[in-house]
């Protein structure tokens, strides 16, 4: 009888685990609907590359960036404000997504002209006006979003000071018709896109652009979504961090659990 009860408890425990995994798989599936294509969490702790937790679009560290432990979520990278020190991510067609959402946590020092993200080639001046993803910090320490539609520039100047030595969440949401700037989860500016954003085969630069304009401070939790997030979704991402929205091999975990259940019979 004791053996039977013990075996029954083992089966119950495994079934309970299956239920938990099923719920987790459902949550992951729901999160995947947000279209998270790349997530650079800066938890590597060292080395010359930054792992993309989602799809392998790892970034190459150029110049000298310092790995630090005091990020917004775990580790972070410290940028020295030098144009030769940044992260370069090779082109992939996913980064031409229409619509999209780009997010980043930054803790920037007050400095003259800085860059969060650039995507219009490796040289300056840029050979073509085809900015698809472009966020920089004005000399007056507020954010600026720029983009091009058939070579015509679009621009949003933010109202919130973000280069002040404090953590701020920056998000650009483009829904195919409008561009929105969110700072710390709140709308800080918006404008009609003017049409479909121009695309290119340019790499992504994080923390600088060609021409020696660069960020001074910390970066953490940089992500690219192939959907235009709602305000509520954006705030959840901001508060929870990107790790929970990255794909997980829930199917493999379920298969392993079923194997254990069969072995106990």
SS3 124: coil
Position 102 pLDDT exceeds 80: yes
Same domain for 76 and 6?
no
* pTM of the predicted protein model: 0.83
Same domain for 141 and 167?
yes
Same domain for 7 and 132?
no
CA-CA distance, 196 to 13, in Å (whole number)?
53
CA-CA distance, 215 to 201, in Å (whole number)?
24
CA-CA distance, 76 to 46, in Å (whole number)?
10
The pLDDT mean for the chain works out to 86
Position 159 pLDDT exceeds 60: yes
Does residue 187 contact residue 180 with C-beta atoms inside 8 Å? yes
For residue range 113-122, list pLDDT tens digits in order. 999 999 999 9
Domains in the chain: how many in total?
2
Same domain for 75 and 194?
yes
Same domain for 130 and 254?
no
CA-CA distance, 94 to 38, in Å (whole number)?
9
**Span of 19-28, 61-70, 91-100 with lowest mean pLDDT:** 19-28
* Phi/psi at 138 (5° precision): -65, 160
User: Please, which pLDDT band fits residue 246 given cuts at 50, 70 and 90?
Assistant: confident
Q: Stretch 209-229: mean pLDDT, rounded?
A: 98
Q: Retrieve residue 14's tokens.
A: 């495994």
For residue range 29-74, list pLDDT tens digits in order. 443 449 999 999 999 999 999 999 999 999 999 999 999 999 999 9
For residues 86-106, one letter each, b for 16 or more C-beta atoms within 10 angstroms of the residue's C-beta and e for the rest, the string is: bbbbeebeebbbebbbbbbbb
- What is the model's pLDDT at position 22? 39
The domain in which residue 106 lies consists of 36-245
Q: Stretch 212-235: mean pLDDT, rounded?
A: 98
SS3 50: strand
Does residue 229 contact residue 101 with C-beta atoms inside 8 Å? yes
Position 7 pLDDT exceeds 70: no
User: Please, which pLDDT band fits residue 1 given cuts at 50, 70 and 90?
Assistant: low
Same domain for 87 and 177?
yes
**Span of 9-18, 186-195, 232-241 with lowest mean pLDDT:** 9-18
Query: Residue 114: which CATH number?
Result: 2.60.120.200
Give whole-number Cα distances, 61 to 13, 44, 67, 204, in Å: 45, 12, 11, 12
Evaluated on CA atoms 255, 259, 260, 265, the torsion sign reads positive
- What is the model's pLDDT at position 247? 63
Q: Where are the alpha helices (DSSP H) in 41-165?
A: none
For residue range 131-151, list pLDDT tens digits in order. 999 999 999 999 999 999 999
Same domain for 46 and 136?
yes
Same domain for 153 and 94?
yes
Same domain for 174 and 131?
yes
Same domain for 206 and 127?
yes
Same domain for 123 and 9?
no
> Which among 264, 262, 244, 253 is positioned nearest to 53, based on CA atoms?
244
- What is the model's pLDDT at position 254? 36
Cβ burial, residue 249 (10 Å; 0-12/13-18/19+):
exposed
Position 160 pLDDT exceeds 60: yes
SS3 239: helix
- What is the model's pLDDT at position 145? 98
Same domain for 141 and 230?
yes
Q: Retrieve residue 3's tokens.
A: 């053996």
């Amino acid at each position: 009888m004791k053996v039977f009860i013990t075996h029954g408890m083992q089966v119950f425990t495994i079934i309970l685990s299956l239920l938990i995994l099923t719920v987790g798989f459902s949550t992951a599936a729901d999160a995947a609907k947000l279209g998270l294509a790349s997530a650079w969490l800066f938890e590597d702790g060292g080395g010359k590359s930054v792992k993309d937790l989602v799809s392998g679009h790892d970034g190459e560290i150029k110049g000298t960036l310092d790995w630090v432990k005091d990020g917004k979520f775990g580790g972070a990278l410290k940028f020295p404000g030098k144009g030769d020190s940044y992260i370069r991510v090779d082109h992939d067609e996913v980064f031409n997504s229409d619509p999209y959402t780009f997010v980043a946590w930054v803790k920037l020092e007050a400095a003259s002209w800085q860059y969060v993200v650039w995507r219009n080639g490796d040289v300056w001046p840029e050979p073509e006006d085809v900015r698809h993803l472009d966020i920089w910090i004005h000399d007056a320490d507020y954010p600026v979003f720029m983009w091009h539609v058939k070579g015509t520039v679009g621009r949003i100047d933010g109202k919130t000071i973000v280069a002040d030595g404090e953590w701020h969440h920056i998000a650009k949401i483009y829904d195919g018709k409008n561009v929105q700037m969110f700072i710390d989860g709140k709308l800080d500016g918006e404008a009609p896109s003017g049409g479909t954003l121009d695309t290119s085969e340019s790499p992504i630069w994080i923390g600088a652009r060609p021409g020696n304009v660069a960020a001074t401070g910390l970066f953490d939790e940089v992500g690219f979504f192939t959907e235009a997030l709602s305000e509520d979704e954006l705030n959840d991402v901001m508060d929870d961090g990107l790790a929970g929205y990255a794909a997980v091999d829930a199917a493999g975990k379920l298969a392993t659990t079923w194997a254990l259940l069969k072995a106990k019979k």
